[in-house]
Amino acid sequence: MSEEISGKRKRENGFLNRRDYLKASATATVGVAALASMDEFVGKAAAVSTTDPSPSNSEVGGGSEYDNDVTRSDATTTVSTKSGLKSALSNAGSGDVVWVESSASIDMTGEANIEIPSGVTLASGRGINGSQGALFHVDSGMESEALFKSVYEKGVRVTGLQLRGPFPGGYFDPDADPYDPGFVEKMSTGIQVYNTESARNVEIDNCHLWGWTVGAVRVGANANGGTSYPTGTHVHHCSIHTNAMEHLGYGIDLLNGDEHLIEYCYFDLNRHCIDGFGNPDNGYEARYNIVDDRTVSHAFDMHNWESNNGDRDVAGSTINIHHNTFRYDNEVQGDSDEFRDGSPQEYIKIRGTPDNRCDMDNNWFQQKEKPPSGTTGGDDYAYTQTSVSSWTNMYESNNAFGPEEPSSDIGAPRTGDGSNPNGLEYSSGTTAVDPDVDSNGERSGVKFRLTNNFDETLTLSEVSISPSNSSINELVDHSYDAGRWVSELYIGADVQDSACDVNGLSLPGSLHLTNDGHSNSDQRWAIMSSGSDAWVYLYQFEDDGTPVDMVGETLEISVSWYRDADGASGTETTTFTP
């Protein structure tokens, strides 16, 4: 390691003292109907979706590019109903494969703690012949319980499934205090496993997991004065998103054990993508993962053991974070919520001093800078260590900061291999933003991401914007500067950025990068290398001079491009709702 960023820890506010994770439950009462009325940010209508936002042409997130599938021909037992599933699992033994038909959609509401025995594989066909895999869905709260729970079991594998929890609409902050029954009834977990070995003998792979309020995956059991369960796991090639309840909301919640490998996963809109409980036996390795551009708080985490009622001031054991790509900038914005106000969020937060060390190497931090010398980071920077006066047992090397694409050995494996026939792809994570350049309090800007899936460099030449709501009739930045959130259009691309700064645009309308409003003729065009991403910023949307909150407003966007290599050109159009 080239640089040591090597504590003392204060207690932090928040729900850190977890409940007894081995406790039995009652029947849940909060329905998905209440959730379906919630937007992914603030409480506007949003239908329950099964769309998987992970990249379709990359092994990150699993799916069609995953090549270690269990198939139907491997099955010992094949099921397609809830009763068949429960019967098959209760009778399964080590070496058995319980296959759930890929076309099945099974309502698991009212079920909890379904045991997967030692040595048993629960499988379906996600990514095989275009299938999304069998869907298990829970449509009401679960009183803090898990749908699947393997207690003391070893050699368990869960692969190729979809698990949708009772709150798939996105971020929300329950009115109840975290210890009130009204809060606890909303707590839910997709898969919880623990046993008495720290060996990496539980595998969860190629699954699509979303809508869980505690955690999509929960591993081990907390040991603050009780029995220790330092379980080890391998979680890989999964799409884990929209697990975003305030105070909890984890993609992967690591309560104990340090033999955890998390790799090739796609994360988006979780409160924390990976959370560590903090005890001296707690650690993980995270590599080759993508964290997309929506977040509720920081992405990778290690809590402080003492703050979780442990007996030592320590932040876990050994943490190794390498070859990941982090994309977001600010957190999502809640409705009149003091915690979720669209502020910057760091990517990695270590809450004290690791008992051994934390290494951060070869990561691509796309929207954040390296912490300045003499500091220990903060929300505005890529990573932070809290409650220390200087970096302690923290090391970093060979990371990349900013949107310019680094060498291929930094960050997660690149998406886009030229196989996408559309060439220019609108990627997931369209977001309405309240830029800090104004004080109007409205999310009147829109941000989205494009991916160049051609094998050649691509030049973007024109962007056309058409709101479905005809009262949204202007795009005006009210600034004489040129850049992100100070121009009507700004595109941050890896080869060359560009901006269109005009005297307002009537909508529907188009902005021409080749001739609109940029004083430097050499930088009129936005240029993307093959496989790269470009971030597009539109600001601000107005109704006759009044800023418009764009959450829930539908836009049709067309982007025109051409290729210098062969002179080919085209236009890609999509419709989305931030």
Quick one: what percent of the chain has pLDDT higher than 70? Answer: 86
pLDDT higher than 90, residue 469: yes
Measured at the CA of 182, the angle between CA 176 and CA 188, to 5 degrees, comes to 110
pLDDT higher than 90, residue 110: yes
- Domains of the chain: which residue ranges? 3-401, 424-576
pLDDT higher than 70, residue 451: yes
Query: CA torsion 48→427→455→326, rounded to 10°?
Result: -110
Q: Name residues whose C-beta falls within 8 Å of residue 522's C-beta, 6 or more positions apart in sequence.
A: none
The pLDDT of 438-443, averaged and rounded, is 88
**Given the structure tokens 């979809």, which residue do they identify?**
162
- Per-residue pLDDT band at 164 (split at 50, 70, 90): very high
Task: For residue 494, give both structure tokens.
Answer: 């890896």
Looking at residue 432, what is its pLDDT? Answer: 85
Q: Residue 237: which of 375, 441, 65, 399 has the closest Cα?
A: 65
3-state secondary structure of 523: helix
Looking at residue 488, what is its pLDDT? Answer: 93
Count other C-beta atoms under 10 Å from residue 313's C-beta: 17
Looking at residue 339, what is its pLDDT? Answer: 78
Looking at residue 336, what is its pLDDT? Answer: 61
- Per-residue pLDDT band at 81 (split at 50, 70, 90): very high
Least confident window among 23-32, 88-97, 437-446, 528-537: 23-32
Looking at residue 19, what is its pLDDT? Answer: 23
- The tens digit of pLDDT for each residue in 511-538 reads 988 665 555 544 578 999 987 888 899 9
Contact between residue 136 and residue 163 where contact means Cβ atoms under 8 Å apart:
yes
List the 541-543 sheet strands across, edge first. Answer: 505-506, 474-475, 541-543, 546-547
Contact between residue 289 and residue 412 where contact means Cβ atoms under 8 Å apart:
yes
Report how far residue 549's alpha carbon sits from residue 168's, in angstroms, rounded to the nearest whole number.
22
Q: Using CA of residue 280, residue 284, residue 285, residue 286, what is the dihedral sign? A: negative
pLDDT higher than 50, residue 44: no
Query: Which range is most confident: 30-39, 227-236, 389-398?
Result: 389-398
Task: Tell me the β-bridge partners of 569.
Answer: 562
Burial of 311 (0-12, 13-18, 19+ CB in 10 A): exposed
Q: Name residues whose C-beta falls within 8 Å of residue 336's C-beta, 6 or more positions apart in sequence.
A: none
- The tens digit of pLDDT for each residue in 113-150 reads 999 999 999 999 999 999 999 999 999 989 999 999 99
Looking at residue 324, what is its pLDDT? Answer: 97
What does DSSP assign to residue 308?
Answer: G
Three-state SS annotation for 440-498: CCCCCEEEEEEEECCCCCEEEEEEEEEECCCCCCEECCCCCCCCCCCCCEEEECCCECE
Exposure string over 394-421, b if 16+ CB within 10 A, otherwise e: bbbebbbbbbebbeeebbbbbbbeeebe
Q: Name residues whose C-beta falls within 8 Å of residue 398's C-beta, 6 or more positions apart in sequence.
A: 2, 361, 362, 410
Contact between residue 313 and residue 306 where contact means Cβ atoms under 8 Å apart:
yes
**CATH 3.90.1600 for domain 3-401:** no
pLDDT higher than 90, residue 441: no
3-state secondary structure of 255: coil
Query: Which range is most confident: 48-52, 179-183, 539-543?
Result: 539-543
- The tens digit of pLDDT for each residue in 471-518 reads 999 999 988 788 889 999 999 998 988 888 888 999 999 998 866 555
**Domain at 424-576: CATH code:** 2.60.40
Burial of 320 (0-12, 13-18, 19+ CB in 10 A): middle
